Chains A and B, each alone.
Chain A
Amino acid sequence: MSWIPTTEADRQAMLETIGVADIEELFSSIPAPLRMKSWDIPPGMSEMAVRDHVAALAARNQAGQVSFLGGGYYDHYIPAAVDALSGRSEFYTAYTPYQPERSQGTLQSIYEYQSAMCRLTGMEFANASLYDGGTAVFEAATMAVRITRRHRVVLHPSLNPVYRKMLLTHAANLELDIVEGDDPADAACVIVQNPSFLGTVADYTALGARCREAKALLVVSFYPVSLGLVKTPGEMGADIAIGEGQCLGMPLGFGGPYLGIMATRKDHVRKMPGRIAGETVDREGRRGFVLTLQAREQHIRRTKAMSNICSNQALCALRALIHLSLWGKDGFKELAVACHSKAEYLKKQLGFATVLNDDPTFNEFAVRLPAGARQVCAAMLEHGFVAGLPLADVGAGEPNDLLIAVTEKRSREELDAFARALENVSCS
């Protein structure tokens, strides 16, 4: 077989060294009645056939339209160097850094990623990443429960409905009292999202102050690209900042792999779940990095662990770090300005619809169309546009409501053509 190098001669020599007649003998500890009889797996395919087969499946997906679909996951440009560097096999095919002396590349990149997340969010500590933005909401909720020893988790209306569903599934059997609203009284935390699922940018500083007074934590779920411009969770007094890092160099990929970001304040770092890389020295005083605070983790603490998380998303975290480094301090701000400005430009072209956001938005906003959003989206496909997310389909609006996202990839020509087509389709 292609990926097994053993020859028949090797096999014979190895069996002789082991002292058995054939490989079957090596499976003697499996009781005979338990051995497999048959299965319905298709025959193998050559590498060339696999390539053609997957290409044919990919071709069955529709693609090629100009997209305005967001809803927490965005079609941002991925700089070429992100793929080139994160694809280096010394990163790509490595494991969790259990032998730090030979995994300094992993560990230093995690340390630098943690630093980038702190600088981005205005927080003091970050972990080495979590699975994605939705599981980060769950981990933040349980972290707040550990810190406050309270059990009420308040979900602000700004939160992505997908995250809400995921939280309910994950917390089904835990002593959590999950309620809607923004009242921090007796709460472990209030979880807000900024910009909101519908794109509204707000300042949660006052809510943060109310949380502190009530001894509840403020958890802010953020959209990383917005932090090129928008007030940070740290500036708003957040205790835990979480986010979906897909926009930082991860392909959309039909749902993953993505990147869960988590950062917190100094007081709470020992209650934070997940891997953390820390700086130290070797015997000669040279700087090096190790996984640290491992006593919080499942492999040491077992039933008393902060979380069951074992793997993080190290490769995705590396992609985010490279992505942010390529944009750099000024470039990242310009990226945010471009996204915001293009969305504002489009918003102004949509006079025939009602913008549902009362307050400022970043690069995404919701409109109420003169016709059903689903029908409009179907018709827009004919014009070469993916018009956005019909909000009723995710339980976040009326049948005529559409969520529209704009990234730096959209040109003025595309915005103009989109606005014209949307008006024609909606008002005809």
Chain B
Amino acid sequence: MQLIYEKSRPGRRALTLDALDVPQAALPADLCRDQDAELPEMAEIDIVRHFTHLSQRNVGIDDTFYPLGSCTMKYNPKIAEVAAAQPGLAQLHPHFSSSPVYEDHCQGAYALIHELERQLAEVAGMKAASLQPIAGAHGELTGALLMAAYHQDKGNAHKDTIIIPDSAHGTNPASAIMAGFKVVEIPSDKDGTIHLDAFEKMLTDNVAGIMLTCPNTHGLFEKDVAKIAQLAHTRDALLYYDGANLNAIVGQCRPGDLGFDVMHYNLHKTFATPHGMGGPGCGPVGVGERLLPYLPGPRVVKEGDRYTLATPEKSIGRVAAFFGNFLIAVRAYAYLRHYGNEGLKEVSRNAVLNANYIHARLKGAYKSAFSARYMHECVFTASSQADKGVHAIDIAKALLDRGFHAPTIYFPLTVKECLMIEPTETESKETLDAFCDAMLEIAALVDSDPESLHAAPVNTPVGRLDEVKAARDLNCACL
């Protein structure tokens, strides 16, 4: 498809402004750009068609089943969009929070922030939450900064290391490094959970914290989590909970009750805000008692019926300009208020039911990566298919041809030829059956017609793309 710049014609216009109603001013020539930016010159209808056609070369959760493991692609309810589009929220200037003179201007927003932070903390068994972090990985960084602040405050200068499982998201080690820590990797045992003996050996006095995903990226609940927490706390090491898979346990158990000291929430995962092709997300951080004094500030506090701002005594400072991705938080708030106490428990129950159903239907055709009970996602290895020359990537592309998005295949790094499938709670049995039927058909083709799988995808806007060429002949902009 043509680029928008290739559709540009000199002199064509979309928007115009009203005639200037003040004298035209000029900046001194030496402060001005030499030439106008070569932005597209197009009529509005051509712009509308361009982006409509681009959208038709994409799929979202509104189009199709999108079973990306660990990404939690659940349906994004439309009422959340209506909530966030309220002019009283969408048009609110953030600097209203910078001066007490404008405090009346944001009482509603402050009330929402305050209540959402409280409910998020309650969902996870934490003491408090802050909406500041702008994405999940930003929440991780914030959490790691909080851990660092805690140890510095306690004079634990020697605590410079964080333990991270080999199955963890890549953001965990990257965030820990950005917060100034060293990282040591702990291997998974053959069951797919943390190797407890190895953990005990690694848990030296230098360990500042442990970052865990639970259920982990193998889809398994960390069976020794209580023991890990107890051992860690004995050494004054902190426990970080990566909220990526919170969907599996929401309403069933709470990270705070399991012994975690700090965590992030991915509002776009558990609380169903749209992923927007990879962003914006929103990654609030939750803390237990130990880390409460260090939360990012300023925070919204309630004084009687009014809301105002205060900064915790030992705050790490600001990680966001204001209150994080507020309009994303509004969507999550609508979601939380709709489900409420009992509804949230149904979320995890149905997410886990759906994952186990897929596992039950596919385990005869694909080799299960682990023998333990899966939670919200199931992990297969296409190793036996790979032995016959058909790899996980071929299976993924064949699924695209059959109208489904593919599961996660590049991750976790611990499983070769991995197919990590996460259906979430918002898919019907019919959809799951159709997906399983497609997976079983593909498994049968491995023997009968493997070439058709190597050729896939053929029903997509483009065929398999040359990723090596993209990096070698780097072309990232049309200038």
Contacts and interface: CB of A to CB of B under 8 A. Distances in A.
A417 interface: no
A313 to B, nearest CB: 4
Contacts of A303: 173-174, 176-177, 183
B30 interface: yes
A315 B280 contact: yes
A89 to B, nearest CB: 4
B221 interface: yes
Nearest to A39: B122
Interface string A81-101: 100110111111111111111
Given A11-B353, A328-B40, A251 B47 contact: no
A35 B39 CA distance: 57
A424 interface: no
Contacts of B140: 308
A253 B25 contact: no
Contacts of B323: 254-256
Contacts of B251: 36, 39
B389 interface: no
A412 B22 contact: yes
A92 B77 CA distance: 12
B163 to A, nearest CB: 13
Interface in A123-140: 124-126, 128-129, 131-135
B33 A232 contact: yes
A258 to B, nearest CB: 8
Contacts of A29: 220-221, 223, 372-373, 375
Interface in B318-375: 318-328, 330, 333-334, 336-344, 346-347, 349-350, 352-354, 356-357, 359-361, 372-373, 375
B258 interface: yes
B328 A257 contact: yes
Interface stretch (A149-157, A179-187, A278-286): A278-286
A99 B400 contact: yes
A240 B198 CA distance: 44
B99 A60 contact: no
B465 A60 contact: no
B230 interface: no
A6 B111 contact: no
A299 to B, nearest CB: 4
B326 A54 contact: no
Interface string B82-116: 11001111111111111111101111110110000
A125 B476 contact: yes
A152 to B, nearest CB: 17
Contacts of B461: 101-102, 104, 288
A23 B25 contact: no
B357 A60 contact: no
Given A292-B467, A303-B174, A303-B183, A328 B13 contact: yes
A333 B32 CA distance: 11
B106 A61 contact: yes
A311 B282 CA distance: 10
B51 A119 contact: no
Interface in B165-195: 169-171, 173-181, 183
Contacts of B15: 79, 326-328, 331
B428 A10 contact: yes
Given A115-B479, A132-B321, A311-B136, A338 B17 contact: yes
Contacts of A112: 3-5, 478
Interface in A228-245: 228-232, 235
A337 interface: yes
A58 B333 CA distance: 13
A96 B320 contact: no
B44 A229 contact: no
A397 to B, nearest CB: 12
A106 interface: yes
A73 B95 contact: yes
Contacts of B125: 36, 39
Contacts of B100: 374, 393
A18 interface: yes
B83 A35 contact: no
A196 B39 CA distance: 25
Size bracket of the A interface: 35 or more
Interface in A354-393: 360, 362, 374, 377-378, 381, 386, 389-390, 393
A362 to B, nearest CB: 7
Interface string A55-75: 111111111000101111101
B339 A44 contact: yes
A263 to B, nearest CB: 9
Contact of B429 (A14, A43, A124): A14
Contacts of A94: 58-61, 275-277
A288 B469 CA distance: 11
Interface string A14-31: 110111100100111111
A5 interface: yes
Given A95-B68, A288-B462, A299-B411, A1 B13 contact: no
Contacts of A332: 36-37, 39
Given A23-B353, A44-B338, A340-B27, A102 B318 contact: no
B32 A4 contact: no
Interface string A144-175: 00000000000000000011011011101110
B63 interface: yes
B277 A252 contact: no
Given A254-B89, A303-B173, A340 B134 contact: no
Given A4-B425, A255-B94, A328-B40, A40 B122 contact: yes
A366 to B, nearest CB: 14
A246 B399 CA distance: 38
B109 A61 contact: yes
Instruction: Give the 7 A-B residue pairs with the shortest CB-CB distance, closest first.
Output: A173-B180, A255-B322, A44-B340, A105-B58, A315-B276, A60-B108, A58-B88
17 contacts: A2-B77, A18-B356, A30-B249, A93-B61, A104-B461, A132-B134, A230-B31, A231-B33, A254-B96, A254-B322, A256-B328, A278-B471, A279-B476, A302-B173, A305-B177, A310-B170, A329-B38
Given A126-B477, A314-B276, 15 more contacts: A14-B354, A54-B89, A73-B93, A81-B14, A89-B62, A101-B462, A106-B277, A108-B1, A114-B476, A142-B178, A162-B321, A172-B145, A257-B279, A326-B15, A377-B99
